[in-house]
Structure 1
Amino acid sequence: MLNDGESLLAAHFSDLHYSPGHLAEADRCFGFAVEDAIASRCQVAVVSGDSTDHRLDAHTPALSALARRIHQLSAHLPVIMLQGTFSHEPPGTLDLFRLIGASYPVYVADRIHQVALVGGAFFPSDGAIFSQVEMDRLLTQHGLPDVVFTCVPTVNKAVLAAAAGVANAATAVGNHLADYLAAAGAVNRQWRSQGVRTIGVSHGTVNGCQTEHGVPMAGLDHEFTIGALFEASCDAFMLGHIHRAQQWEREGRVVAYPGSIGRFHYGEIGAKGYLQWQVSPGEAVATQVKTPASEAVCIDFDGPPDMAKLAEIAADAAHKYVRVRWTVNEEHRQLVDREAIEAVFAASAEVKLEARVLPAVRSRAEGISRAATLSEKVGRWCELTGVDANPLLDNLSMLENLDAQAIADQVLAGLAETSIPVTQEVRVVEAAALPFIAKLSELDLDETAVAPEATSALLESLAEPVAPIATAAAPMNWLTDDLFA
């Protein structure tokens, strides 16, 4: 048991992400952290969620490796494990670890509550916070706690959505947790007044924190605000979920993420490790201890990869994880020799090649998309294709301003003005008839064959004008007739 006012040395791990794919990285880094915490004589260990990366079967080597590390840790100090994100740690995953404690217990916090550590044993509250009756009974039966934890595991938003409604579930999480932390703060201040250290443990996102890629997390749907966390009046608040180490301080009290134990993704910035906390009533200090996380080299090219530059980088990339990205046009994609790049980084632990191919864009009417109106688009098209725009613009105006009947009437009126008259006089051209008559006069015709009277009658008929041929114009229906025949 610690003396009054003496600081508590706590080891804070988070986001171990044990899985078949991350086993080598996770076990190397967590193994180092466990051994360092034991060597540093830490007095309690906290794992603030996401011990596994996804559901693991009992026979999985990754689950066995994690269990061995937790068992190794519990041989020297008490361990508290918090339920993390359900997609990483399905409910019930951590139940196994309750059974593997060695000299000290492994306590699994899978509900919102408070728990006191007294003489190496954990005593949880019946409800969300310690009642006055529970506090008095704990002090009477077991004495003053070494530390009191306020545990806030991942909240099941489906349950909250059923209670508060789907539309309000996202923002209701933060409001409900803020109310709980304020209530827990009143209890924590009572414990602190008696010289008891108080620690908050949770798994979630703080509004305004930064991800491992340097992206600020700002929004109304995050679980916590910095103000709400400090309202819990914990000397130290140990968080998990965000893979980048960061911390906030107010009046000696500290809120901090240790970050992930190893480097599990390309592009992660910052060192990896765990936190050693010095916690005393009303004051806390968190110090990062770096783990031997893998080094990742990210190389980006705005165009085809430069093989000379890659060869220069590869000289110092042995046993490192390398990602090469490039952007090329579709017609130049074959210029990149992937096998040559992999050969350059043959000594690296892993080489990941990512190409971004820009598709060829062919514009049939350049600039037409920038025209604001349809008439401007038609005018631009006519300009590029060498077509007279006036008739098209007139027709477009007609379509925009007239109804169907008015357009049909206007078309019919135009046809009437340009059509050939249906009645015309057909006259005999004398210039064509006279040579024919002259030819007949030269012929030596048999008088019995052709009578002079018949010849005279024929000539007279050819000389007379032919009566005009009149054709009645049938009315046309614009719906059924072919107006353009």
Structure 2
Amino acid sequence: MIRIAQFSDLHYSGKHLAEADRCFSHAVDRAIALDVDAAVISGDSTDHALDLHAPAALRLASNVRRLAEHCPVLMLQGTYSHEPPGTLAIFRLLGGRFPVHVADRIGQVALSNDGNWIASESWRFAQLPGAMRALFSCVPTVNKATVAAAFGATSAAVAVGEQLGALLSGFGPTNRAAREAGVPTIGVSHGTVYGCMTEHGVPMAGFDHEFTTGSLFGAQAQAFMLGHIHRHQEWEDGGRRIAYAGSIGRFHYGEEGEKGFLLWEVGATAARLALYPTSARRTIDFCFEGKPDIEALQAAINAQEVAGAFVRVRWNIADEDRHQVDRDAIGRILNAAAEVKLEGRIVPVVRTRATGLSQAATIADKVQVWARATKVKANPLLACLECLQTCAPEEIVSEILERGVEATVRDFSDTRATAYQAPSDVAADTMPDLV
């Protein structure tokens, strides 16, 4: 039985440095205290290309070195946009009591009893090394552009899955031989499993995902450690397990589930795992359909602890009401939060084109065309229009002051609408009924 700490999706960068370093440092401390036998970082150690003098590069190297002082470390190549090819090469040179193996090509690597890494010359071992503590089958991020160039862009998505399925099956005989010799077998990869759930609760369904659980179990490894998806989840089949460790920290709002690292206990015929949470930041969302209700927001804040949390307030509001949102008031009642992010979605005014409006001869005709396009009753509007055209302004003002606006409009609608005659060129069946 070997105890392995799996870390994944560290995303070190200037933007995420505080969260990534706090969580990874905590995880490294915990893994060392648990006295793990080996450590695996299953991709996306960085969020993008880093300069060597960047603080994020220094902090990442420092924590990897701390791990290497305690146990052998395996680092897998992650997504190219996060970890450009060659990013991890420097980690081979870190030094320490134990070596760091960078898995940037498809292949197998054995962990010897004395804590060294023995890499296969080809994509798998033709003959298993002796005195192995564990056997790792590594599948770093697949370059889909290369697959597209070989199989055609339209066939690339399906071809990636088919080729990876064949590759994983090819690891099967070697892994079975190792298991029969009593050696724990572990797969490590970075990609998407069909049907898995993202950190935002969205199922990943489609033909452009690299793996299925069937293809992963087809590798015949006792444990399969995955990176790329930021939500911890696992699958089990007859004692063999596949699992995402999830991201080490919470880098975006709305992420669901615990953040942490996995402690694996892997034998030749059994595998167990446990999630050890890290000190990831807390994020809270308050969402409103319409203008934020300050009283409702205050009640929601009183119902849960927001001190030290990262809070996002979201709302949808019509364009004409956008200036009614009191951002200062929201900031004041959330002053105990570590960060407040305000996201207002402005619903644009949708205008319906009234076909033929410009061709109408009179204003009354234009009102008729507009009313039909917007599905409103035209007669009350036409009655008011007639009043504007036939009455003096003083008469209209006097009537409004004496009877009130609503009563006047209603009176004009009731008394004049029946007297209004549609133009002869407007069909009678196009006139809305007066209620």
Which bracket does the TM-score occupy, shorter chain normalised? 0.7 to 0.9
Q: Residue 278 of structure 1: SS of its match in structure 2?
A: strand
1:195 equivalenced with 2:182 (yes/no): yes
1:20 to 14, 24, 27: 14
d(CA) in 1 for partners of 2:61 and 2:15?
A: 17
1:24 offset after TM fit, Å?
0.7
> Is 205-214 or 162-171 further displaced after alignment?
162-171
1:390 offset after TM fit, Å?
5.6
1:362 offset after TM fit, Å?
4.1
Name 2:234's counterpart in structure 1. 247
CA contact (8 A) 1:234 1:253 kept: yes
d(CA) in 1 for partners of 2:192 and 2:27?
A: 24
Q: How many residues are treated as equivalent by the alignment?
A: 370
2:76 to 74, 82, 87: 82
1:147 offset after TM fit, Å?
0.4
Q: Residue 323 of structure 2: SS of its match in structure 1?
A: helix
Q: Which protein is bigger by CA-based radius of gyration?
A: 1
d(CA) in 1 for partners of 2:371 and 2:15?
A: 60
Q: Residue 299 of structure 1: SS of its match in structure 2?
A: strand
d(CA) in 2 for partners of 1:325 and 1:355?
A: 6
1:214 to 197, 201, 204: 201
CA contact (8 A) 2:352 2:373 kept: no
Name 1:458's counterpart in structure 2. none
Q: Residue 49 of structure 2: SS of its match in structure 1?
A: coil
Query: Which residue identity does 2:111 align to in structure 1?
Result: L
CA contact (8 A) 1:262 1:291 kept: yes
1:348 equivalenced with 2:348 (yes/no): no
**After the TM superposition, which segments of 4 or more aligned residues of structure 1 sit over 6 Å from their partners?**
382-385
Q: Residue 111 of structure 2: SS of its match in structure 1?
A: strand
d(CA) in 1 for partners of 2:255 and 2:374?
A: 53
Query: Which residue identity does 2:39 align to in structure 1?
Result: A
TM-aligned CA distance change 1:102 to 1:329, over 3 Å: same
Query: Which residue identity does 1:45 align to in structure 2?
Result: A
Specify every segment of 5 or more residues in structure 2 that has no aligned partner in the other structure, as ranges.
358-368, 379-421, 431-435
Task: Report 1:294-333 matches (<5 A).
Answer: 294-314=281-301, 316-333=305-322
Task: Report 1:86-235 matches (<5 A).
Answer: 86-118=80-112, 119-132=114-127, 135=128, 138-139=129-130, 144-235=131-222
1:101 offset after TM fit, Å?
2.8
Name 1:482's counterpart in structure 2. none
d(CA) in 1 for partners of 2:22 and 2:60?
A: 11
CA contact (8 A) 1:317 1:347 kept: yes
Q: Residue 160 of structure 1: SS of its match in structure 2?
A: helix
1:52 to 46, 51, 69: 46
d(CA) in 2 for partners of 1:64 and 1:157?
A: 31
1:360 offset after TM fit, Å?
2.4
* Offset from partner CA, 1:171-205 (integer Å, 9 cap, x none): 11111000000010111001111111100000000
d(CA) in 1 for partners of 2:216 and 2:87?
A: 27
Q: Residue 264 of structure 2: SS of its match in structure 1?
A: strand
TM-score normalised by structure 1 residue count = 0.73
CA-based RMSD of the aligned residues comes to 2.3
Q: Residue 71 of structure 1: SS of its match in structure 2?
A: helix
1:129 offset after TM fit, Å?
0.9
* Offset from partner CA, 1:310-338 (integer Å, 9 cap, x none): 33444521111000001111221111011
1:246 offset after TM fit, Å?
0.1
Query: Which residue identity does 1:244 align to in structure 2?
Result: R
d(CA) in 2 for partners of 1:287 and 1:150?
A: 21
* Offset from partner CA, 1:439-468 (integer Å, 9 cap, x none): xxxxxxxxxxxxxxxxxxxxxxxxxxxxxx
CA contact (8 A) 1:192 1:198 kept: yes
1:308 offset after TM fit, Å?
2.0
Q: Residue 132 of structure 2: SS of its match in structure 1?
A: coil
The sequence identity of aligned pairs, in percent, is 53
CA contact (8 A) 2:105 2:139 kept: yes
CA contact (8 A) 2:353 2:373 kept: no
Name 1:419's counterpart in structure 2. none
TM-aligned CA distance change 1:378 to 1:34, over 3 Å: closer
d(CA) in 2 for partners of 1:38 and 1:107?
A: 19
1:117 offset after TM fit, Å?
0.5
TM-aligned CA distance change 1:381 to 1:33, over 3 Å: closer
Specify every segment of 5 or more residues in structure 1 that has no aligned partner in the other structure, as ranges.
1-6, 369-376, 394-485
